[in-house]
Amino acid sequence: MFSVKNLDKTYPTGQHALKGCSLDIDNPQIVAIFGPSGAGKSTLIRCINRLVEPSSGEVFLDDLELTGLKGKDLHNARRQMGMIFQEYNLIERLTVMENVLSGRLGYVGFFNAMFRRFPQDAVDEAFSLLERVGLKGYHNQRADALSGGQRQRVGIVRALIQHPKILLVDEPTSGLDPKTAMIIMQLIKDLAIEKGIPAIINIHDVKLGQDYADRIIGMADGVIVFDGPPSKVTAETLTMIYGEEDWSKTIRKVEDEEE
Amino acid sequence: MTEIQPAIWKRFSKKQSLERYGIEFVLLLIFIWATQSVDIYWPFVTDAPAQAVDLLHRMTPPSVVFIKAIIPSMIETINIATLSTIFAVILSFPLAILNARNTTPHPIVQMVARVIIVTSRSVNELVWGLIFVVFFGPGVVAGVAALTMRSLGFMAKLVSESIEEIDHGQVEAMRATGANGAKVFIFGVLPQVMPIIIGTSIFRWDINIRQSSVIGLVGAGGIGILLTSSMNMFKWQNVSMILISIFVVVLAGEYVSATVRKKLT
Amino acid sequence: MSDTGASTVWKRDHFIKNPILRWIVILVGSAYLIYAINDMNFNLDRMRTGWPRAVDFFQRMFPPDYSRWTMIYKGVFESLQMAIIATTVSIFLAIPLSLAAAANISVKFVYVIARAFIVLARSFPPILVAIMFVKAFGFGPFPGILTLSFTALGFMGKLLAEAIENIDKGQVEAVRATGANWFKVQLYGVAPQVLPRYVGLSIYLLDINLRASTIIGIVGAGGIGGALFNAFHRYEYDTALAILIAIIVIVLVMEFISSKVRSRLQ
């Protein structure tokens, strides 16, 4: 249902961020991407929905090849991929409802967007999704009045209201406290399962990733160095991804389970 | 500024103080050049206090009845300020978009926008007034056009700077939803720069109130026309009344502007 | 407001929430706009007669005529001299003025007088001040320098007084605690804190004064503005354009120097 083939990205600065990455996702699963800062996780995710232009390679969403798309075709393709951001990236000065409905921008005309006239079914869906993530009654609050966890819930709803075929999630928990981080990860996982869509999640919290993902991809220096289930992640794998360190504490839980 | 310097401790090293003295010396030379060569007729200067007292004497008491002529003219002045601000806000908006590094469609377009902005800002409203009086003849239209031209660059510069400073993450999020450029702009950019646009507009209105009282000197409408004619007829008591009215209106404008800006932001 | 399952209406909150007040604002606003635009007496006839004049104007403007080069550079130099003298005068006078207008240093009586002077100097556009000085003292750079000094003093006095009001009190207290007298407290407790701002403002002031000095000549107060005004009145638009270009160039050069120096100071 989704695949990336030989994706390569060199920035104008000369930085070679992606070196021929390939991956296939055949069923709705939660894929966590591990890797140190600068490994290319963020670039990979942004090359998929073309917020960053890949230098070469192919991306397939169902049978649609994305890297050659332009203009309206590109916008229509992007609207099938929901994205959730590290810094939430909500429109700070607008209300929660406007932020949620902005997920439908790809579906409405310019003037309707300008005067905030969104179809009633979108509004209904927005209300029910807000209730689903525990933000009932918050629709007229301004985004800058919310806490980090609440903002990320709005971010999740904004992505889901696009009716995406896949979720691209970039470090969703890095600004959150450990408990809120777990709640957000659980929410993303539950909603992805509910909607029957896969999610690709960049995350540098190894334990959190192992707890919630069905599959782990490890990246180092622009190359995919590991691809397998969380149970296969060992100290050697982490050393391969992050470099030499005492990993015994981080992965004890997995080893315990295996025993 | 003079430092009291004890014998052992010195604030600046020898090179530093040499540099400082050098700069001070050059500045002094420039000042001496300016005062020596400036074309001042010195008897005017020595005579100045007497002349000032004389003029003040002729200006008192201000003619209160003249207020009847001042009020309609003052309303016209305020109208010029308000209309030109509105026009400038509307026109400056596309100009700001074309000029901002992150929203300009093309570097050449940006260059053109920059030239318009620089010209608008560096030509004084009185000069714009002179030009538009040639176009439209004397009157309010020329005044509105002049102040619009002057405010345009001011607004566009500040707004385009604020567009350049927006949080790019919000733009990225809107792009990710599949919105096209125009829709990304109204959701990702506009809400972020709106407070700046409103604040700058009100601030510019405040400035324009001041300037619209002046452009009448070149025939571009407003209270300045009344001022010029009163002076030409040596009606000094009317002149002083006009000056008092301008003072009051300018202060009122400043007050309104400050209050509204505080309320909105 | 939102019942589960049922279709719920959502409308964006209005900017002014009270509907009566909102409509009053909208109505009064649009009525004023209609009146003000109407009052401009703008009509197409004038546009039609204005158009050929505008075309003629531009045709006569190009190419700019630099044949009166000596007149232009004399005017520019005079503007520069006026700006330099006025800036020097006002940055020195601004020191006592700002001390008098700083609420944390001054005494009430002096404070009120100083603030009143600042308000007066700041409220009138330089051109108006210039025209009064010209009427009182005759034509030439002298009333021009007076004008620039007066308005600049208002500007500098206000900003410097604000800088003084915002200083760190602890440093002043420390100097006072050494037993220093009033003058020494200003020199060691206050001056070092506001000095960078003072220097920065002084350069900015030169920038502002130069701009103003190129224009007040229109009412006879010296500088290049007079030449510009005359060129317009003699319909010598090509000379006017040459002067205008000269003005824009020196204003931009000064702005560039001013911003460079100020950013180096920070």
Return the minimum-mean-pLDDT range out of B147-151, C62-66, C162-166: C62-66
Instruction: Work out the mean pLDDT of chain C and round it to a whole number.
Output: 83
C12 CB neighbours in chain A (<8 A) are: 95, 97-98, 116
Domain with A175, as residue range(s), is 2-258
- Both structure tokens of A228: 């397998």
DSSP assignment string, B116-173: HHHHHHHS-HHHHHHHHHHHH-SSHHHHHHHHHHHHHHHHHHHHHHHHHTS-HHHHHH
Strand order in the sheet with A81-84: A81-84, A166-170, A199-202, A30-34, A215-220, A223-228
- Residue B148 pLDDT level (bands cut at 50, 70, 90): very high
Residue ranges making up the domain that contains C109: 69-265
| Residue A97 sits at the chain C interface (C-beta within 8 Å) | yes
User: Does A114 contact C at CB distance below 8 Å?
Assistant: no
Of A154 and B221, the one with more pLDDT? A154
CATH number, residue A240: 3.40.50.300
Contact A28, A213 (CB under 8 A): no
How confident is the model over A51-68, as a mean pLDDT?
88
- Measured at the alpha carbon of residue C120, what is the angle toward residues C224 and B212, in degrees to the nearest 5? 55
Is C10 within 8 Å of A139 when comparing Cβ atoms? Answer: yes
Contact B85, B205 (CB under 8 A): yes
| Ramachandran region, residue C235 (left: φ > 0; alpha: ψ -120 to 50; beta: rest) | left
Q: How far is A208 from chain B (nearest CA, A)?
A: 24
SS3 category, C264: helix
Structure tokens belonging to residue C57: 């104007």
A149, amino acid identity: G
* SS3 per-residue string spanning chain C: CCCCCCCCCCCCCCCCCCHHHHHHHHHHHHHHHHHHHHHCCCCHHHHHHHHHHHHHHHHHHCCCCCCCHHHHHHHHHHHHHHHHHHHHHHHHHHHHHHHHCCCCCCCHHHHHHHHHHHHHHHHCCHHHHHHHHHHHHCCCHHHHHHHHHHHHHHHHHHHHHHHHHCCCHHHHHHHHHCCCCHHHHHHHHHHHHHHHHHHHHHHHHHHHHHHHHCCHHHHCCCCHHHHHHHHHHCCCHHHHHHHHHHHHHHHHHHHHHHHHHHHHHC
Between the two ends of chain A, the Cα-to-Cα distance in Å is 35
Dihedral in degrees, nearest 10, Cα atoms C80, C82, C85, C86: -120
Distance from CA of A207 to the nearest CA of B (A): 27
pLDDT at residue A42 greater than cutoff 70 = yes
Name which residue leads in pLDDT, C257 or B42: C257
**How far, in Å, CA of A8 to CA of A53, rounded?**
10
Q: Is the pLDDT of residue B10 over 80?
A: no
B82 pLDDT higher than 80 = yes
Q: Is pLDDT of B196 > 50?
A: yes
Residues of chain C neighbouring B41 (CB-CB closer than 8 A):
138, 140, 142
Residue range A218-251, pLDDT digits in tens: 998 888 988 888 888 888 888 888 877 767 666 6
* In-domain check, residue B38: no
Rounded Cα–Cα distance for residues C106 and C118 (Å): 15
Residue B104: count other Cβ atoms within 10 Å of its Cβ.
20
Show which of residues 118-157 on chain A sit within 8 Å of chain B, judged by CB atoms: 155
Banded model confidence at residue A100, pLDDT cuts 50, 70, 90? very high
CB atoms under 10 Å from CB of B233, counted, come to 10
DSSP B235: -
Nearest to A116 among C2, C9, C12 (CB): C12
Among B170, B172, B179, beta carbon nearest to A105: B179
Residue B239, in any domain of the structure: yes
Does residue C188 belong to any structural domain of this protein? yes
Contact C78, C224 (CB under 8 A): yes
Nearest by Cα to C167 from C138, C188, C150: C188
Q: State yes or no: pLDDT of C4 exceeds 60.
A: no
Region B72-79 average pLDDT = 91
Across the interface, whether the CB atoms of A95 and C13 are under 8 A apart is answered yes
Question: What is the number of domains present in chain B?
Answer: 1
Percent of chain B with pLDDT over 90: 36
Neighbours of B105 (CB within 10 A): 10
pLDDT of residue C6: 47
Average pLDDT, chain A: 87
pLDDT at B85 over 90: yes
The answer on pLDDT for A147 being more than 80 is: yes
Q: How far apart are CA C143 and CA C154, in angstroms?
A: 17
Can you give the pLDDT at residue A259?
Answer: 36
The number of domains in chain C is 1
Residue B88 domain-assigned (yes or no): yes
In a domain, residue B169? The reply is yes
Is the distance from CB of A222 to CB of A19 less than 8 angstroms? yes
Best mutation target among A91, A93, A107 (most B Cβ atoms within 10 Å) is: A91
For residue C5, the model assigns a pLDDT of: 46
pLDDT score at B242:
92
Structural domain tally of chain A?
1
CA–CA separation, A240 and A236 (whole Å): 6
Q: Is the pLDDT of residue B31 over 70?
A: yes
C23 assigned to some structural domain: no
- Give the nearest chain B residue to A46 (CA atoms): B176
Residue C2 has pLDDT above 60, yes or no: no
> Which range (A43-52, B19-28, B42-51) has the least confidence?
B42-51
Kind of pairing between the strands at A2-10 and A16-25: antiparallel
Burial C42-73 (b: 16+ CB within 10 A, else e): eeeeeeeebeeeeeebeebbeeebeebeebbe
Contact A6, A20 (CB under 8 A): yes
Cβ pair B96, B184 in contact under 8 A = no
What's residue B67's pLDDT? 85
Residue C180 falls inside a structural domain: yes
CATH number reported for the structural domain that contains residue C160 in this entry: 1.10.3720.10
**Cβ distance of C82 and B30 shorter than 8 Å:** no
Asked whether A73 and A79 are in contact (CB, 8 A), the reply is no
Q: Which domain holds residue B136?
A: 78-264
What interface predicted TM-score (ipTM) does this complex get? 0.86
Nearest to C127 by CA among C113, C143, C112, C116: C143
Instruction: Please judge whether A102 and B170 are an interchain contact, meaning their C-beta atoms are less than 8 angstroms apart.
Output: no
| Residue C34 belongs to some domain of the structure | no
pLDDT, mean of residues A206-228: 89
Task: Please compute the mean of the pLDDT values over residues C204-229 and round it to a whole number.
Answer: 87
In the predicted model, what is the mean pLDDT of chain B?
A: 86
> Which pLDDT does position A96 carry in this prediction?
92
Q: Between A and C, how many residue pairs show a Cβ–Cβ distance under 8 A?
A: 26
pLDDT tens for each residue of A73-97: 898 889 899 999 988 899 988 999 9
CATH of the domain at B135: 1.10.3720.10
E runs forming strands in C79-221: none
A255-259, B115-119, B224-228, C35-39, range with the lowest pLDDT: A255-259
Reported confidence tier of residue C50, pLDDT bands at 50, 70, 90 = confident
Give the C-alpha separation, C113 to C119, whole Å. 10
- C14 DSSP 8-state letter: P
Using the beta-carbon criterion (under 8 Å), do A102 and B177 form an inter-chain contact?
A: yes
Domain presence at residue B140: yes
Contacts C2 to A, Cβ<8 Å? 127, 131, 136-137, 139
Q: List A201's β-bridge partners, or say none.
A: A32, A169
3-class state of residue A219 by DSSP: strand
* Other beta carbons within 10 Å of C249: 12
- Domain contains C243: yes
Residues with Cβ within 8 Å of C170's Cβ and at least 6 positions away in sequence, in order, are none
Q: With 70 as the cut, is the pLDDT of residue C3 above it?
A: no
Q: Tens digits of per-residue pLDDT, B151-191?
A: 999 999 999 999 999 999 999 999 999 888 889 999 999 99
Taking the Cβ of residue C36 and every Cβ of chain A, the question of whether any pair is shorter than 8 Å is answered with: no
By the 8 A CB rule, do A108 and B178 touch? no
The answer to whether A162 contacts B177, with C-beta atoms less than 8 Å apart, is yes
The span from the CA of A169 to the CA of C256, in Å, is 46
pLDDT at A190: 92
Q: In degrees to the nearest 10, what's the CA dihedral of C93, C96, C101, C103?
A: 160
Percent with pLDDT over 70 in chain B: 95
